[in-house]
Structure 1
Amino acid sequence: MSQLATPASDIATAAADSEGSRRQSRWESLKPLVLDAVVPTASYYLLSKGFGMSTLAALAWSSVVPAGRTLWSLVKERQVNGLAALILAANVVGLLLSLLAGDPRLMLAKDSGITATIGIAVLVSVAAGRPLMTVGLKPWVTKGNPVRTAAWERLIAERGRFARMERMFSVMWGVALFGEAAVRAVGAYTLPVDTMVWLGGVIAGVTITATVLVSGALVVDPMEKKVTEEITRQVAGEVAVLGR
């Protein structure tokens, strides 16, 4: 009986790693998303809105991290860091639009141009078979746990419903970001400037919140359940093999 319990016990032990190890593993999984997307975006808003920098200066300084990460990937890993390159490209679009800015409505529409660029790139990444939003999705489904990560890899390799849900997550975010950009761009040229100054932030906040909730219910929760079921199936299979 003790022999039958061995594989299940090994997997259970691996799944129950120390809290410190789980946190470290989760941070390692989330680090690319934080460095490539969160830090540059937060830097832009902090520098422009918090410290009063010009749009050009804020965009230029917030491009340092993604530019460095993209260059590092090219030199060290011989490949393009997709998310860092995307944020860098979006910032370049913002810089180009800012050079044309003199019209306050164009300044309002500028952020829409950046968001639309990101949305389109996310959709293109799905068509290319490398969904960009997976860098944020995978850590939350696997929770930085090596057993859950291994289950994720097995399910993705099957190219079934699990892989379709992975792509769906990026599609939902790509459509949401592009749609939010379109709404704000229309508002920038049809509504009073003073109204759009505050309404633009509301539109962005509502869009992100709604997408988080909807994608969580339709994609993240089902994927978490599938991973748990896969781990259970793997344990049962190991036990059955030793029970023969």
Structure 2
Amino acid sequence: MNKKKIIRGIVMTLLINGALPLAVYQILLGYTSSFVALSIAAAIPLVDNLFSLIRYRRLDVFASFMLLGFILSLAAVFMGGNEQLILLRESFVTGALGLLFFCSFLFPRPLIYYFALRFTVGNDPQRVAEFAAKWQHAHFRFVLRIMTLVWGVALVGEAAVRSYLVYHLSITQFLAVSNFVVYGFIGAAILFTVYFRRYALKRIAK
């Protein structure tokens, strides 16, 4: 699989499982309740997952992860509570997903392994087999586990910081800084992933 196909696969995955559901949700908010809008948006990664399961006989872990995010968002709609809890709905979701990264250490392979498989290999059986064979190398396992740890820390850290701020700032102040916290943690995790992957590839090449 060449670089263009990999990039195309990444873009399509992010569009189908990320951008499209969010766009559908935002559009439907003007016509229906948040619950209905989220339910319809969550159906998109579900359909993509079913398609992958039927066509490739393999569960798409990334699509499942995105679907779980929407299901948690649906659950957060029913949380109710005071203004602080309402403001923390998104962090409830990111915190739970961050814990999922940590929990994946209890399984044979961490969550990032399946994300890397989805984004760098695609559905080519030969490439999938070659990627799976790399798990036998200690450094490969180390790199993916570190990435999983970093993403878990980033998501749980974002939830923790926003939870602290919502009870120590006014609502106006919180809304002013909230997105900076979210993008700061996520951006840092993305940058780490990009540069750590480059470092790992150079080391493996030696």
The verdict on a shared fold, with TM-score over 0.5 as the criterion, is: yes
Deviation at 1:129, TM superposition (A): 2.9
- Counting only pairs closer than 5 Å after superposition, residues 77-116 of structure 1 correspond to structure 2 as 80-101=59-80, 103-116=82-95
Q: Do residues 223 (structure 1) and 204 (structure 2) align?
A: no
C-alpha distance in structure 2 between counterparts of 1:169 and 1:26, whole Å: 20
- What are the ranges of 5 or more consecutive residues in structure 2 without an aligned counterpart? none
Which residue does 1:5 correspond to in 2?
Answer: none
One of 136, 142, 154 as aligned partner of 1:176: 154
Deviation at 1:187, TM superposition (A): 2.0
C-alpha distance in structure 2 between counterparts of 1:33 and 1:120, whole Å: 22
Which structure is larger by alpha-carbon Rg, 1 or 2? 1
C-alpha distance in structure 1 between counterparts of 2:22 and 2:98, whole Å: 15
Q: Which has the higher contact order (CA 8 A, sep 6+)?
A: 1
Q: Any conservation in 2 of the 1:37–1:83 contact (CA below 8 Å)?
A: no
One of 103, 109, 115 as aligned partner of 1:124: 103
C-alpha distance in structure 2 between counterparts of 1:167 and 1:37, whole Å: 24
Q: TM-score normalised to the size of structure 2?
A: 0.76
Q: Do residues 208 (structure 1) and 189 (structure 2) align?
A: no
Regions of 4+ moved over 6 Å:
none
Q: TM-score normalised to the size of structure 1?
A: 0.66
Question: Which piece of structure 1 moves more, 72-81 or 207-216?
Answer: 72-81
C-alpha distance in structure 2 between counterparts of 1:107 and 1:119, whole Å: 20
Aligned-pair identity in percent equals 23
Residue 125 and residue 189 in structure 1: after superposition, are their counterparts in 2 closer, same or farther (change >3 A)? same
One-letter amino acid of the counterpart of residue 99, structure 2: I
Aligned length: 203
- Counting only pairs closer than 5 Å after superposition, residues 1-244 of structure 1 correspond to structure 2 as 22-28=3-9, 31-41=12-22, 43-44=24-25, 46-47=26-27, 54-73=33-52, 80-101=59-80, 103-137=82-116, 153=131, 156-217=134-195, 219-229=196-206
RMSD: 3.5
